[in-house]
Structures are given as structure tokens and as C-alpha cells.
Structure 1
Amino acid sequence: MMATVEADWLIYAGVAVVALLIAWWLYARASTAPKRRDYKPDVLSEGAEPAQRNQALIDAPPAAQIITPAPHGAMMAGVAEIVAVTAQDEVEEVEARAAEMEVVPEVEEAPAPAAAGDDLSKIKGLGPKLQKLLPQLGLTTYAQIAALSEADLDDLDGKLGAFAGRPRRDAWVEQAKLLASGDVGGFEGKFGKL
């Protein structure tokens, strides 16, 4: 350490001088009281009265007169009658048009038969979003998934959006073949517990 100080004593001396100058400058700024300003004598200091600049505005009459509104009863006297007559006319028009129209019995659509699909949640890699998406694409049973060809998988990938590639990566077709055949032991041996 002493060797460094002996070799670089000039640098250390310069840093010490700069530090002393900064300390002196900060001390000098803090101890100097702010200068007191001497204002020229004001008109009010000499005893004159305040100027009456806005007195003309204060003394002027108001630009707008205040109008008190009439009681509400007098203003709204015939409005209710006019509204009632107009409403009655509209009701009569609608009733006349309704009488002219033919009555068509409403035909209820037969409810769609409930799809008797398999529990697709048993297929590994098929989460809740895909379980909702596959029935919309027409895949509800293990047999349908097991029958998918390579071309069908390519087409399915295009419809799966963010899930594209999942059928091949998670081997849906192979899993569906085992589940469709009822081979639970073979499924659990290859893909894990159901």
C-alpha cells in the first residue's frame, strides 16, 4: 500500500486539493445569508389611498336580469293529455297492423340427439380445451380418433390452431385404438394409469 502511495503521491495530493475546494465552496454557500432586497418606496407606503380600479364594474348594474321560473303546474298543463292521445294513436296503428297479419304457428325444432361419445379425457395430452374443441370438429369417440389417417391428422392439425401437432406428439391415434378395443392393461402399460 505504501508503495502505491509513494508512486502515485501526486494523484492523491490532487484529489485532496479538489476535495478541500469542494468542501470550502459548500461551506461558503451555506453560511452566506441571502441578500436583503430593498424595494423602492411604493405609493401605498407614502400614505396614498388604494387605487379604485374596479369600482366602475362594482357600481354597474347587472348585465342579465334574474328571471324566476313559473310554477311547474302551469308549464306542464297539457303535456300529459298530448302524450296520452299520441300513445293511443300508436297503439291503434299497431293493433290494426297486427290484425292484418297472418298467424303462422311456431314450429319448434326437434332437439339434437345427445352425442353418445366416449370420455375423451382418458387420452393423455387431451386437456379441457381440446375436449371442448374435438366434438365441434366431429370427433366424439375413440373409434373416430383411432380411424384417423395421416392425411386426416394433417387436416386436424390445421383446425387445432395453437394445439397443432398434439395428436402426433401425444400419440392420440394409438391411445384411442387401445381404449376403443378395451385394452386398459395395454394402455396403462404404455401410457400410464387412467
Structure 2
Amino acid sequence: MIELIEANWLLILLAVLVGFVVAWFLLSGSRKTRITREDTGEEPGNARRNQALIDAPPAAAKDTASPPEPEDKPEPAPSPAPPPVATPRAEPAAAAASLGGAGAAVNTAVSQEEAGQAAPEGADDLTRLKGVGPKLAAQLNTLGVTSFAQIAGWSEAEIDRIDDQLGRFKGRIRRDNWIEQAKLLSEGDTAAYEKRFGKL
């Protein structure tokens, strides 16, 4: 018997493997789940109630479905309007007469009103300097700079001191040559100013 097994061991091993494969196919086919409906004899009302419970969304989904109502926020109180600032009207008219144009009169009046809010009585219109707009003129007025003669007399140290306080306008004093412009404007030399820096 042992001699027979030794001579045919390969065939025996092959027969065992085939047996395992056949058994596996037979067992896997019987494992498939089959759903069968059993008649339980329940009343139709109970069946509908059970089906409604099955079809209903989970409780967690119900909680997250409706977001909370937003709370009403109180509206901010309106801020009071600033009091009107009186600006002298004589200077724009005089400037308009010296410029000789209606458009220049309107521009001068608007820039004087914007810059003149912080400017004291009798101050020069600093917006006549090239590179100085209404905001920068108002900022200069708050720093105590109000006249062309004052700017014309600045030393290098004063230029540095004022320039450090100009924020985003820093560097404009030297770049736009305010000192020379202010000298010509304080002397009233309009022809030399316009020749060097262009029309006022």
C-alpha cells in the first residue's frame, strides 16, 4: 500500500485539490442569502406603521436639517453729522481773478474748501504747490505749516522733521522741490514759477 502511495502521490494530491475546489463551490452557492416574505398575519395598519418607521429619516438627520433662526442684531445708531465749517470766500475769488478762468475758479474753490478745513485764517493755499493735494495740504496745516514763506525758509533738519510726519506722502518735499516752488510763490513771481514748474 505504501508503495502504491509513493508511486502515485502526485495523482492523490491532485484528487484532494479537486475535491476541495468542488466542495468550495458547493458551499459558496448555498451561502447566498435568500429573502423570503413570510405571512405573519399582521393587520394592514401595523404593516403601514412599520413601513413608515422604516422610511423615516434618522433622528440625527432631523436635528441637523433645520438650522437655528438667526438672532436680530440691533442696528447701529447713526453718527451725528459734523458741524459745517465756514471757509473764506474772498481768497478763491481773488485766485480766480488772477488765473483768469471760470474752471480755475471752481477748482480753486473746491481745493480751498477741502484744504481749508484745517487751515487758519490768512493761510496760503498750499495746494498751489505741485505735488500737494487737498489731503496733504490739510495734513501740513495740522503740522503747523500754513504759508509759502514758512516752507521757503525750511532748513534740511526741518525738511527731515516734517517729511517723517507725512506718512504715505513721505519724500514729496525734495522730489517735488517744494522749497523752490514756495520761494517763487511767496515772492509772487508767477512768471518764473510757471516757466520752471508749469501753469498754476
TM-score in terms of structure 1 length: 0.45
TM-score in terms of structure 2 length: 0.44
